[in-house]
Amino acid sequence: MSSSRSVRKLEMVSPVPADIDIANSVEPFHISEIAKDLNLSPNHYDLYGKYKAKVLLSVLDELERNEDGYYVVVGGITPTPLGEGKFTTTVGLCQALGAHLDRKVITCLRQPSQGPTFGIKGGAAGGGYSQVIPMDEFNLHLTGDIHAITAANNLLAAAIDTRIFHESTQSNKALFNQLCPPNKEGKRKFSDIMFRRLKAWYH
C-alpha cells in the first residue's frame, strides 16, 4: 500500500545491487502504520511481528458501504531470462500507481512455494527495486501457513504409504484384526465411521 505519508524512496544506484541487498537497505514501516493508512481498525487484523499481519474477513463488513475501487489482474507472464515475471510486474505497477501517481493501492500476491527459493529460479518476491520486503520471510515462512500445508501434505502421504504397505504385506485376516480387534471376550466392536463407510459403499 502506498500513500503520500508512507513512501520511502530509494536512491537507485548502478549497477543494480543484488535483490537481498536492496531488501536489507530498506527499513519497513510497522504494519500498524500501513493498516492505519488503509483505515483498518486493530480488531480487523492479527499481528505477526512488526512487519506482517493477517487481515480478518470481518473487515468486509466494515468496508461494505465504501465505494468500490478498480481491480487490475496481472495474468500469466513468461519471465525474462533475468527473472522479471508476474511478481515483479505487479509490484512495479503498484509502485507506479502509489508512489508516482499518489493513488491508494493494495497489492495482492500469493505466498510463493518454497521450490523456487531453493532452486535455480531464485525467490518469488519480485526483484530489484520492485520487490516485496521482508523478502526472506515472504519466501520462506511468512505467517506459517505454508508450513501447515506442508505438514498436512506429509501426513496424508504417510497415511497413503502406510496403507499401501500394509495391504501389500498382510493377509485380509490380519488387516481385519488390526482394524477391528476382538476384545477379551472375543467380540468385535465397529466404530461409527466404519458403519458410515460400509453404508456409503453399499449405496
- Each of the 203 residues of the chain gets a pLDDT tens digit; together they read 444 445 566 778 888 888 888 888 888 889 999 888 888 888 889 998 888 898 998 888 877 888 888 888 888 778 777 767 788 888 888 889 988 898 888 888 877 766 555 655 556 677 788 888 887 788 777 888 878 888 999 999 999 998 898 888 888 888 888 888 888 888 888 888 888 888 887 76
Give phi and psi for 73, each to the nearest 5. Answer: -110, 125
Q: Output the nine-digit C-alpha cell for 123.
A: 525467490
Separation of first and last alpha carbons in the chain: 54
With vertex at residue 144, the alpha carbon angle to CA 142 and CA 147, rounded to the nearest 5 degrees, is 120
Taking Cα atoms as reference points, which of 143, 146, 117, 147 lies closest to residue 19?
A: 117
Calculate the alpha carbon distances from 83 to 26, 34, 46, 101, 126 in Å: 22, 28, 33, 26, 8
- C-alpha 142/C-alpha 146 separation (Å) is 8
Peptide bond into 15 cis (omega under 30): yes
**pTM for the structure as a whole:** 0.59
- C-alpha 117/C-alpha 185 separation (Å) is 58
- C-alpha 32/C-alpha 43 separation (Å) is 11
Domains and CATH numbers, the chain: 19-142 (3.40.50.300), 146-202 (no CATH)
Taking Cα atoms as reference points, which of 193, 156, 1, 21 lies closest to residue 91?
A: 1
